[in-house]
Amino acid sequence: MDRTQSDQSSKETSHSQNDESLLQFDAETVKLLVMRGDELFECLTVSEERYGALEERYGALEEEMEAKEARHKQQLDENLVTINLLKRREEELLQSQEKSTKDLAEKQQSWESGKQGMKYVVDEKNYQAARNHTLETEKRKMECKVKGVMKHNSQQTFRIHSLEKEVQKLVLQLEKQGEKNSEDQQPMEAKLKQVEKENEDLAKKNTSWETDVKQLKDQMREKEEKFSKDLAEEQLSWESEKHQLEGERREMEKTLKQVEESKKKLAEENRSLELDVTLNVLLVKQFEKDMEVQQEEFSKRHQSWETKASSMETEIKEVTQEKEDLAQTLQSQATEFKDIQAQLHQAEDENNMSWETRVHQLEKEMKEQKEKCSKDLSQKHQSWETTVHLMETQLKEAKEERDNLAQTRLSWETKEKKMGEEKTLLEDLCLHRKNKSRGFFARRRATEERDVVLQKMLHKMEERR
């Protein structure tokens, strides 16, 4: 009996030691599992914070790019308006504008593709968030399960301690009683058998709990490995996305620099256009002054040529009148000569001898007078011919000069018309740019007269110069 009792006591002590080691091992594994879960949770929070920072950075970059894109589109619209107004002088600007629009379309396509990529990233992020949520729920379930196991283990340990105390009490009672009646030992043995059976049941339950804990450990290990693998893959994907976003950011910075450079070029071109406009306005003013001076000179010369032409016409009339008077004098002299000849014939009939000397003298006088008259007439005729030829050449020159002046006047009129059109075009351009610069408040001043606005602008330009 003593031997069996010692064997039972040794078995009970060994079982209690094994149970204590198992309980200690389970507590340590649970602590390790909890620490591992906390580490995994911290890794998840860090990764979520990094992803949130990346998302905020991308949102800021996207807003900045949208703002710059809107400003660039507005600038392009203004440049298109100016190009439509100055098609004759801005062919190079039109080509550059077409090129910039093509580049902008390509950049917009690239931005659209980048947006689609970011949409894919956002979807992936949502999927990862859902997956993290499921992992968190599984982790909480596992923690609850581990807590239940620990609670059950604590209850079992408490029960085992209480049973051990009862066994110790029974052993002490058996040692005190020694050899008693079999009637007293039988219920004690039955009680011991019941206690041994309960211990065996508890051992079986502990082994089942150990298998459950092992399964839980294996499941936790598999999930940890899977989670670490997924986390590594996600880290790699996030790193690749980060590099891709950094590359896109560099490309966007390059495009922004290009846009800034094109904006500076357009500003310089606008300044040069404003200078051209001011110069053209000054040239138009100078041209108007020159036109006024030339019109005054032309009117003066026209008046002088009209006076010269009228004086030449009066001189021609006087010459023709003198010619007619000479013809009349010649005709009268011819009639007188005929009368004298008749008188001479009559005198010859009366007194041929006495009048012969007189006739010779008269003939000689008539001949001298005739020669003198013909000589004077030839001289006057020659002088009249020279004067008439001179007047004709002067009239011809005057007509040619008048035609030249008419042609120059027509050319000046066409040039003045062209300059007027250019002036109106430049004025419209200036008014359009002024209205553009005013923006919304330009509607309130739309009732102002055009000339008043242009005079104000010219006055401001002269003050600036």
Nearest to 65 by CA among 266, 257, 252, 344: 252
Nearest to 395 by CA among 315, 289, 285: 315
3-state helix, strand, coil in the chain (%, to 5): 95, 0, 5
Instruction: Give the pLDDT confidence of 365-413 residue by residue, as tens digits.
Output: 767 766 776 677 667 667 767 766 776 776 677 678 777 777 877 877 7
Cβ atoms of residues 227 and 135 within 8 Å: yes
Distance between CA atoms of residues 219 and 231, nearest Å: 17
Taking the CA of residue 392 as centre, how many other CA atoms within 13 Å lie in the half-sphere pointing to its CB?
A: 6
Burial of 7 (0-12, 13-18, 19+ CB in 10 A): exposed
Tokens of 57: 């950075």
- Which residues, 6 or more positions from 423, have their beta carbon under 8 angstroms from its beta carbon? 280, 281, 284
pTM beyond 0.85: no
User: What does the domain layout of the chain look like in residue ranges?
Assistant: 2-279, 285-464
Instruction: Give the pLDDT confidence of 231-244 residue by residue, as tens digits.
Output: 778 778 777 877 77
Residue 409 region by backbone torsions, left for phi larger than 0, else alpha for psi between -120 and 50, else beta: alpha
Q: What is the pLDDT along the chain (465 residues), one digit of tens a residue?
A: 444 555 555 545 554 444 444 444 456 666 666 676 666 666 656 656 765 665 676 566 667 667 766 775 676 666 566 656 656 665 665 566 677 667 766 766 766 666 666 666 667 667 766 776 776 777 677 777 767 766 766 776 777 677 667 767 766 766 666 555 455 556 656 666 776 677 677 666 666 766 776 777 677 778 777 777 877 787 787 778 777 777 777 887 787 778 778 777 777 776 776 677 677 667 666 766 766 776 677 667 667 666 655 665 666 666 567 656 655 765 665 566 566 666 656 655 665 555 566 656 766 776 776 677 667 766 766 776 776 677 677 667 767 877 777 787 787 778 777 777 777 777 677 677 667 665 544 544 544 567 777 777 677 767 766
Distance between CA atoms of residues 398 and 395, nearest Å: 5
Distance between CA atoms of residues 430 and 188, nearest Å: 120
